[in-house]
Amino acid sequence: MKKFLLITAAVILAIIALSSIGHIVGLAISLFIVYFSYKQFMETNSTVGKVIWAVIGLIGFSGLLGSLPALAGIAAVYILYTGYKNWDRKKESAPIVNDEDPFVGFEREWEKLKK
């Protein structure tokens, strides 16, 4: 039952990720525009150039705000990735320090004390 629920969740997350591809692409393009306009804004010395790059940056930022549903798609892809990576991981138990029977160790220590 647990595997069925995990597979169902994976299918739902995959649908969310696939439906957000357009928003993810728009987010990437908008981030590039904002980054490039910021770099050009900082390098430009003229006031007119700074105004033009600021307007381009604001246009990119508005596109960025319009692509915020991409965050749900990115989160879905991340959850799918971590789930896939940990799918067959066995539960790690505490390491056994001594494989011997505890009473055998007791007998050995008792013999040392008697000497």
Domain ranges for the chain: 8-87
pLDDT at 7: 87
Residue in the block written with tokens 């039952």: 1
pLDDT at 70: 92
pLDDT at 109: 80
Tens place of pLDDT for every residue, the chain, 115 residues? 888 888 898 999 999 999 999 999 999 999 999 999 999 999 999 999 999 999 999 999 999 999 888 999 999 999 999 988 887 776 655 555 555 566 667 777 878 888 7
pLDDT at 93: 56
Please answer whether residues 80 and 13 qualify as being in contact, where contact means their C-beta atoms are separated by less than 8 angstroms.
yes
Distance from chain centroid for Cα 24: 15
pLDDT at 115: 79
pLDDT at 95: 56
